[in-house]
């Protein structure tokens, strides 16, 4: 097979993998929407309650833009006091409004959701309703979830860019559960594509890269998070992008990409740990002195801090204009870091949390949605492969010195994981398994590349085993000295 023909075949197959990924993610997003509709639910899956609601609130409160479902007009009216359905029905009949009461199932907030065929009819009705009853707020668009104060919530503990993206999708395609999830679907497909490109950079093997991208596209947590409007899929996307530039030896672009990813969610900042380590090694290799170490650490810290604040301020300008700079700093920077480093929920009613290492063992998976009592959508990767990845990352660590292909993956994987472990140690013990989607591309790259580059090559495997023997000998001697035996 000629090289040109093989490239054409691989390209066609890659497009096929991307189409398979898109189809899988879209079909699940659609299934979630149709299931919620069939059971008369409000349409939200898991933390979409917070992210979608805040996206809608940012649109209407900050940008002064209202949205609506794609084929009708909708409005959630929040009353100051509870109001009976019979009164509302009588009011509609009395004035002859062509408006339907669609949802009264609210216990945490005094809300009723109305729909009409067109926005004008609904606006006239809401204006009349406001004159008759004490209306506290009106949220135009899809029905709001049942949560206290949800009409004012803007999710300031997370940066706003993810909510902007969801909001743009609402504006373009309508305020509807499937439309909320379009950006996540696109992000998931892009992760599969960049997984291929990262592997191609590492190995120059198109077929191996294709296999890894296919495996990533089939992972359960990739499908779950690429089909729901949560923020963690964007963390995974920017993690993969950062790794791409890292293996392309564009270290400082990788650093910028990681910081840019933090404008979606701060978890992306954990990828700075491996980037810093590799940058330090590069600088110290040229000049191995204490002065150079201190100089590099200070430089990296200042550059990182400056870029972080610059990016956060730029994307938050609309919010800053709305709530004020001091309030933004207190809530979105200082308050956010305190919130992330705290236990967010206690008691039996709290969702299932997990430790970072449990994500790789299939333990304490977070249930995103229950299709039925027997069938749940759980945010958990295919744990046997994930367990192998964690084992590889630990046992093959000496490969950092003997295999240039595997080295950046090992450092990136373990460095990022170290960030979550550190967060857990300082008090952020309320972590959830859906965070682990950030590792999905890394898991399959590490397992496949570790097997091909080390396990199948006896000389490198022997070198790694010998390295561990030396490490164990040093540890044994240190223990003996500590016990004053030697």
Q: What are the domain boundaries of the chain?
A: 48-155, 177-455
Beta strands in 128-174 (DSSP E): 135-140
* Cα dihedral 465/470/475/478 (nearest 10): 170
Below-70 pLDDT ranges, the chain: 1, 402, 484-486
pLDDT of residue 292: 86
pLDDT of residue 291: 87
How far apart CA 117 and CA 462 sit, in angstroms, is 72
Of 145, 225, 149, the residue nearest 187 (C-alpha): 225
pLDDT of residue 402: 67
pLDDT of residue 485: 54
pLDDT of residue 350: 83
pLDDT of residue 85: 92
Q: Which two tokens stand for residue 469?
A: 């023997």
Global confidence as pTM: 0.93
How far apart CA 146 and CA 269 sit, in angstroms, is 32
State residue 14 phi and psi, 5-degree precision: -65, -45
How far apart CA 12 and CA 61 sit, in angstroms, is 46
Of 133, 385, 407, the residue nearest 281 (C-alpha): 407
What is the number of other CB atoms lying within 10 angstroms of the CB of residue 285?
Answer: 9
pLDDT of residue 169: 97
358-377 per-position pLDDT tens digit: 999 999 999 999 998 889 99
> Residue 425: CB partners within 8 Å, gap ≥ 6?
none
CA 440 to chain centre: 11
pLDDT of residue 125: 95
Question: What mean pLDDT value characterizes the chain?
Answer: 92
The CATH code that applies to domain 48-155 is: 3.30.70.250
CA torsion through residues 114, 120, 126, 128, sign: negative
């Amino acid at each position: 097979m000629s090289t040109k023909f093989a490239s054409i075949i691989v390209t066609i197959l890659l497009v096929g993998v991307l189409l398979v990924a898109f189809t899988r993610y879209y079909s699940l997003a659609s299934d979630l929407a149709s299931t919620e509709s069939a059971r008369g639910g409000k349409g939200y899956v898991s933390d979409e309650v917070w992210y979608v609601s805040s996206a809608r609130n940012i649109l209407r409160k900050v940008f002064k833009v209202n949205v609506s479902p794609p084929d009708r007009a909708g409005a959630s009216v929040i009353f100051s006091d509870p109001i009976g359905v019979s009164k509302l029905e009588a009011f509609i009949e009395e004035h002859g409004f062509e408006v339907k009461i669609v949802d009264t199932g609210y216990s945490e907030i005094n809300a009723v959701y109305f729909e009409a065929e067109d926005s004008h009819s609904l606006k006239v009705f809401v204006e009349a309703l406001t004159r008759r009853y004490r209306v506290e707020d009106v949220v135009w668009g899809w029905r709001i979830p049942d949560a206290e104060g949800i009409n004012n919530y803007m999710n300031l503990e997370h940066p706003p860019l993810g909510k902007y993206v969801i909001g743009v999708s609402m504006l373009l395609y309508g305020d509807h559960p499937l439309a909320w999830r379009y950006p996540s679907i696109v992000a998931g497909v892009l992760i599969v594509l960049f997984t291929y490109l990262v592997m191609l950079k590492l190995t120059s093997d198109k077929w191996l890269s294709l296999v890894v991208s296919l495996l990533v596209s089939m992972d359960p947590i990739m499908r779950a998070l690429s089909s729901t409007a949560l923020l963690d899929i964007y963390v995974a996307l920017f993690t993969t992008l950062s790794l791409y530039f890292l293996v392309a030896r564009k270290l400082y672009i990788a650093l910028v990409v990681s910081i840019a990813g933090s404008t979606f969610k701060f978890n992306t900042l954990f990828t700075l740990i491996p980037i810093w380590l590799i940058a330090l090694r590069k600088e110290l290799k040229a000049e191995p002195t204490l002065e150079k170490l201190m100089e590099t650490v200070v430089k990296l810290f200042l550059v990182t801090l400056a870029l972080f604040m610059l990016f956060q301020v730029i994307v938050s300008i609309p919010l800053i204009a709305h709530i004020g700079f001091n309030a933004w700093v207190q809530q979105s920077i200082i308050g956010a870091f305190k919130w992330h480093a705290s236990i967010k929920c206690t008691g039996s009613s709290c969702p299932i949390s997990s430790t970072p290492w449990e994500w790789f063992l299939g333990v304490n998976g977070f249930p995103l949605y229950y299709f039925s009592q027997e069938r749940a959508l759980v945010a958990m990767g295919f744990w046997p492969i994930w367990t192998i990845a964690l084992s590889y990352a630990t046992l093959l660590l000496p490969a950092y010195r003997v295999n240039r292909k595997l080295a950046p993956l090992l450092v990136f994987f373990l460095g990022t994981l170290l960030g979550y472990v550190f967060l857990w140690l300082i008090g952020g013990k309320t972590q959830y398994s859906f965070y682990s989607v950030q590792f999905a591309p890394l898991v399959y790259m590490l397992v496949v590349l570790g097997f091909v580059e080390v396990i199948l090559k006896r000389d490198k495997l022997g070198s790694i085993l010998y390295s561990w023997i030396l490490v164990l000998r040093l540890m044994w001697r240190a223990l003996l000295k500590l016990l004053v035996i030697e």
